[in-house]
Structure 1
Amino acid sequence: MNLPLIELREVSRRYDDGPPALSDASLTVRSGEAVAILGPSGSGKSTLLNLIAGLDRPDTGTVTVDGVRVDRLGEAGSARYRRSRIGMVFQFFNLLDDLTVTDNVVLPAQLAGMARGEAARRATELLESLGIDRHARARPGRLSGGERQRVAVARALMNRPPLLLADEPTGALDTAAGRDVSRLLAELNAEGQTIVVVTHDLALARSCTHRTVRIADGRIIEDVRSHTAAEESVR
């Protein structure tokens, strides 16, 4: 928990002629933290996530993740960075319905050049640890929303990334499945996984993170730590 994994320094991003989507934002996230980025729609939280993920570049400021100056990367470098250092979980899963669960999970490993046998073993390990190994040969469309999100988490963890980014991970789930995914994220963080969750849901933030960063009108307005939230969610 001592080394900074993410460092944003005075980052700004503006689209077209509108107001800044992000303005002079500075943020440090240390290895092993679980952080929620909170804010209403249009507040700048998705822009912040995209900058960390290397999907966008700031107009000013610097973005460093796991020692990599993400804001300096070209298209190919950004792709390599995401494959090796970032796992991403989305609101609508982004699974390929024409592939089996296992094939969806091993896809990042194939893109990274992992040996087929090693990738298969890693996928089996993840599916078992997430309680969805019985669906290994199923197509994602046959699974419940909560099960599909677990597949998405397995895929995100396939290459053992130091950072897991989750964008509204419970937004497309019912209440029970949402609690299940929240608990899973808390358990992963308890095992040492660094997690950044972007959400407008305060209940989700409280259940699976121990720090909340609030954004409004493109500015970070609050940064609050709570050392008990993630622990309480897994009791």
Structure 2
Amino acid sequence: MNTPVIELRGVSRRYDGGPPALDEVSLDITAGESVAVLGPSGSGKSTMLNLMAGLDRPSGGTVTVDGVRVDTLSEAGAARYRRARIGMVFQFFHLLEDLDVTDNVMLPARLSGMSRTAARHRAAELLDALGVSRHARAHPGRLSGGERQRVAVARALMNRPALLLADEPTGALDTASGEDVRKLLNELHDEGQTIVLVTHDDALAESCATRTVRLRDGRIDSDTAAEPVR
């Protein structure tokens, strides 16, 4: 039996004494799965992702990712954990406009102590694999939305993370660019990357996910295996 990459055990998160954003959630995700997390606004999707990433702490329960008890980490420890084990892709890219594409992609490796030469070589490999090597010296503002998202994915993969977290990765893209990102997520999954995808888009989930977890009012409403429709 595969050891889970992600283990949530009785995880709750409350803010300012209000109703729980997550309420006693338990979930296992194993290596190589592509899991879509869906649900209406306020259902707890982004809260779950932030807890997996160590960007937030649970009010109760435990969060373990790739053997690390994320809920017990200090701020500095959580930053080191994200650099070493997590790749994150966001709706609005979060690329640094004053750095060119190569330097944006290299940034996680440089923060982790990789030499500039090795980081540049790894960045070049990723940009080539993701089809944006021709933009290596351009600044993000000169790229299309789809190209910027590919650069963001390259940056997320820079340190060979155990887990790729994607938060509405097509939400800011036009239809054609969104289709490019969908294909890219499928290619990464085919290569063995473990992915957790938060989305409002049922079609994206159906085309990318081997499993769909639906949240409602902070609880898991359904958890079903699926065969991606590509």
Q: Normalising to structure 1: TM-score of the pair?
A: 0.96
Q: Which amino acid aligns with 1:38?
A: L
Aligned letter for 1:16? D
Post-superposition shift, 1:70? 0.3
Q: CA separation in 1, counterparts of 2:176 and 2:209?
A: 18
For residues 98-157 of structure 1, the C-alpha deviation after alignment (integer angstroms, 9 at most, x for no partner) is: 110000000000100001111011000000000000000000000000000000000000
Q: Does 1:34 align with 2:37?
A: no
For residue 120 of structure 1, what is the aligned residue in structure 2?
120
Shift of 1:17: 2.2
| Equivalent position amino acid for 1:192 in 2 | G
For 1:38-72, what per-residue CA distance to the aligned partner results, in whole angstroms no more than 9, with x for missing partners? 01111100000000000011111000000000000
Match of 1:91 in 2: 91
In structure 2, the residue matched to 1:155 is: 155
Post-superposition, which runs of at least 4 consecutive aligned residues in structure 1 deviate over 2 A? none
Q: Counterpart amino acid of 2:23?
A: S
Contiguous gaps of at least 5 residues in structure 2: none
Paired residues in the alignment total 230
Measure, in 1, the Cα distance between the counterparts of 2:54 and 2:196: 14
Aligned partner letter, 2:86: I
Q: What does 1:65-80 align with in structure 2 at a 5 Å threshold?
A: 65-80=65-80
Distance (Å, rounded) in 1 between the aligned partners of 2:3 and 2:123: 29
| Matched position secondary structure for 1:10 | strand
Partner of 2:55: 55
2 CA distance for matches of 1:39 and 1:184?
23
C-alpha RMSD of the superposition:
0.8
* Structure 2 counterparts to residues 164-175 of structure 1, below 5 A: 164-175=164-175
**Matching residue of 1:43:** 43
1:176 Cα deviation from its structure 2 partner: 1.0
CA distance in 2 between counterparts of 1:80 and 1:99 reads: 22
User: Aligned AA for 1:14?
Assistant: R
Matches of 1:104 and 1:117 in 2, distance apart? 15
SS of alignment partner, residue 170 of structure 2: coil
Give the secondary-structure state (helix, strand or coil) at the position aligned to 2:186. Answer: helix
Q: Which residue of 1 aligns with 2:137?
A: 137
Query: How does the TM-score come out when normalised to structure 2?
Result: 0.99
Quick one: percent identity of the two aligned structures?
73
- Report the residue type matching 1:85 in the other structure: R
Structure 1 residues not aligned, in runs of 5+: none
Q: Which residue of 2 aligns with 1:221?
A: 221
Give the Cα–Cα distance (whole angstroms) in 2 for the partners of residues 3 and 123 of structure 1.
30
